[in-house]
Structure 1
Amino acid sequence: MTRPERSSVPLFVDVDTGIDDSLALLYLLASPEAEILTIASTGGNVPVAQVAANNLAWLDLCGRTDIEVTVGSPTPLRIPLRTTEDTHGPQGIGYAELPHSSRGPSDRSSARAWVEIARERPGSVTGLVTGPLTNLALALRLEPELPHLLKRLVVMGGVFNHPGNTTPTCEWNIFVDPEAAQEVFAAFSVVPADRRPLICPLDVTETIEMRPEHLRLLAQAAGSEPAELITEQDPPGTRSRTSNPIVRHLSDAVRFYLEFHRDHGQGFLAHMHDPFAAALALNPGLAVTRPATVDVELEGTLTRGTTVADWTGMWGRGPNADIAVGTDPAAFFDHLIERVGGFAARARFASPETR
């Protein structure tokens, strides 16, 4: 597994937080090279106001109240918002009950933040989107030069040679706002090969299987007690008793995700799509990639929202994305546990009653 560079990586983070988005945020907060410039909130797993509340709460818990949180559009570009509380829980963070933040989000919209930050630091910012692409599509309408202003774009979304997780052929983030995804992929067709968007699809992220043993090791790395022992035989909704607040809230969130996957016949595991995409934003060398021309089906009765990749140039259009096609999941989890566990061990918290 290629180790990430330690030089600073300025990041614009756009999320629909979400259980796996939550771990992605913790991973980035734990990464010394990640310079988080702002966190944009997109409706997806839960409505946008709840996403923003989740983002603020995680930042408060981790002592990073210096990071801005913005709010994006409450709806996709052309269709009503569909959310997935059955997958992520009523607040989007499973069984976790994070203290409500006393802070509010920024006055500027997420789309405006995309544009202003890219203009302030042209050629240096990596955009990371782990939810629907609505905010970025709106930002492109404000500033068509955005693909040239960003250093790179990393997107968790899509599925190519693998079953979908929302329809037989469709991945959730693209399904929520396929028009936005189509606009983004088209807009970024103009960038040179070394700045093509990096797409992290289900083909790879469904190999990133978090299991109870990973949570035990993470708690151990954080020096948290007692040992975090989650089993499939535990009553549904069992809450963590481990001492470290970050580990405890994360475990409560992930337990919901484990139960969801089990109840849908996938095993007592949790696909951690977004933390892997976050890791790729810092170090693209974590994945094997292939260039392709990507577009989104908008009209199909059975296939609306499907991402289609032309791997061989049949459309006569140049590649507009690099698609992750392989990685080393075991090495990734070793890296994740070391980072997040160490960060949780070092974190300083407010009084126990509030955390």
Structure 2
Amino acid sequence: MTRLLLDVDTGIDDALALAYLASLPDVEFVAVTASPGNVDAHQVARNTIALLELCDRPNVEVAVGALNPLGIPLVTTPETHGPQGLGHAVLPPPAGTVSPRHAADVWVEAARAHPGELTALITAPLTNFALAIRREPRLPELLGRVVIMGGSFYHQGNTTPTAEWNTHVDPHAAKEVYAAYRGLPADRLPIVCSLDTTERMEMRPEHVRRLAAAAGCAVEELVLPEQAEGLRSTSENTLVRHLSDALRFYFEFHRNYDQGYLAHVHDYFAAGVAAGTLEYSTRPATVDVEVESAMLMGTTVADYRNLWNRPHNARIVSDNNPAQAFDELVGSLGRLARRVG
């Protein structure tokens, strides 16, 4: 059993990651916390509760923490994820409510209660995680494993020429988190899923068609570039319908930015790394984040050769297997969709 603490900014690719994790019978959601990023933190929480209920994972504690980044104003991204964060999808209103606890307290108390047992997955800006480490500096030692989606090293940034979105939203938090891991044993260092490998996770219309087929849908689910923008799915399967509507928006966004009719599903890859279901390899490095330069704000730098003479603080994913990853996604998520209808 993989016992997960998650921090998300749901978000289309966060939603896909959450749905995938919900499809795995050996994954337990200990709690999910909401960081501001793709949308504001309260909208993140609503999206997350609604999606978990749709995936037959009700009653998971979902908590809000920070409402803004640590040192700069919040910037959200409705052009990428839609005004509510889920593209064209409109999920049923959630029955559950947001936890009264602060996200940082949720992380600290869970880690203290289960030292070494929890896997942490952060697919959002690192705001809540940094606040949790401030409250409990031993948190990196108390968590069993940590997976972070963020950063860009040899790859062009997706927000500025050098910066990836999650790190750019809150570079000060990212800098604090990486600093907290200096000098820890190699097996305690976070696994970092950066754009260098997450951009290889290109979800395409064929994957949506295959997902619907795996779910047992009687009619093909066709999300095609020649169709009108904003066309809504009519699938009889509720989960397929909502994911299709979300992904269509994401395909349209990527096409509008000359990347093709596809979607980079960064967070799904990080989720698979956390769950132990996807193939990948890592390289140790020392990571730092630029927080002073206006031009380079949020840029992540990796020292693989020990030129800084500082101890490693991260294991950066250096290779992955997109074909295996999408076969896994289609099969597992298809089984969940077939079950929940």
Give me the TM-score of the superposition, normalised by structure 1: 0.94
In structure 2, the residue matched to 1:241 is 234
Q: How many residues align structurally?
A: 341
Q: Following TM superposition, by how much is the alpha carbon of 1:285 offset from its aligned partner in structure 2, in angstroms?
A: 6.3
Report the 3-state secondary structure (helix = DSSP H, G, I; strand = E; otherwise coil) of the residue aligned with 1:128.
strand
**CA RMSD across the alignment:** 1.0
Q: Following TM superposition, by how much is the alpha carbon of 1:284 offset from its aligned partner in structure 2, in angstroms?
A: 7.6
Report the 3-state secondary structure (helix = DSSP H, G, I; strand = E; otherwise coil) of the residue aligned with 2:141.
helix
Q: Following TM superposition, by how much is the alpha carbon of 1:213 offset from its aligned partner in structure 2, in angstroms?
A: 0.3
Q: Following TM superposition, by how much is the alpha carbon of 1:203 offset from its aligned partner in structure 2, in angstroms?
A: 0.6
1:32 to 18, 21, 25: 25
In structure 2, the residue matched to 1:140 is 133
Measured against aligned partners, the alpha-carbon deviations of 1:254-292 in whole angstroms (never above 9, x if no partner) come to 000000000110000000000000000011862121110
Give distance in 1, aligned partners of 2:96 and 2:148: 28
Identity over aligned pairs, percent = 54
The amino acid across from 1:73 in the alignment is A
In structure 2, the residue matched to 1:109 is 102
* 1:265 paired to 2:258: yes
1:172 to 156, 165, 177: 165
The answer to whether the Cα contact below 8 Å between 2:205 and 2:262 also exists between their aligned partners in 1 is yes
Measured against aligned partners, the alpha-carbon deviations of 1:176-211 in whole angstroms (never above 9, x if no partner) come to 000000000010223211121000000101100000
Structure-to-structure mapping, 1:173-212, within 5 angstroms: 173-212=166-205
The answer to whether the Cα contact below 8 Å between 1:225 and 1:244 also exists between their aligned partners in 2 is no
My pick for the range that moved more, 295-304 or 269-278, is 295-304
The answer to whether the Cα contact below 8 Å between 1:226 and 1:241 also exists between their aligned partners in 2 is no
Give distance in 2, aligned partners of 1:301 and 1:162: 20
Report the 3-state secondary structure (helix = DSSP H, G, I; strand = E; otherwise coil) of the residue aligned with 2:181.
helix
1:299 to 253, 268, 292: 292
* 1:87 paired to 2:80: yes
The amino acid across from 1:347 in the alignment is V
In structure 2, the residue matched to 1:43 is 36
The amino acid across from 1:316 in the alignment is N
My pick for the range that moved more, 283-292 or 132-141, is 283-292
1:225 to 198, 213, 218: 218
- Consecutive unaligned residues of structure 2, counting only runs of 5 or more, are none
The answer to whether the Cα contact below 8 Å between 1:16 and 1:41 also exists between their aligned partners in 2 is yes
In structure 2, the residue matched to 1:328 is 321
Give distance in 2, aligned partners of 1:309 and 1:231: 39
- Which consecutive segments of 4 or more residues in structure 1 shift more than 6 A? none
Report the 3-state secondary structure (helix = DSSP H, G, I; strand = E; otherwise coil) of the residue aligned with 1:189.
coil
Q: Following TM superposition, by how much is the alpha carbon of 1:79 offset from its aligned partner in structure 2, in angstroms?
A: 1.1
* 1:287 paired to 2:280: yes
Report the 3-state secondary structure (helix = DSSP H, G, I; strand = E; otherwise coil) of the residue aligned with 2:210.
helix
- Consecutive unaligned residues of structure 1, counting only runs of 5 or more, are 1-7, 349-355
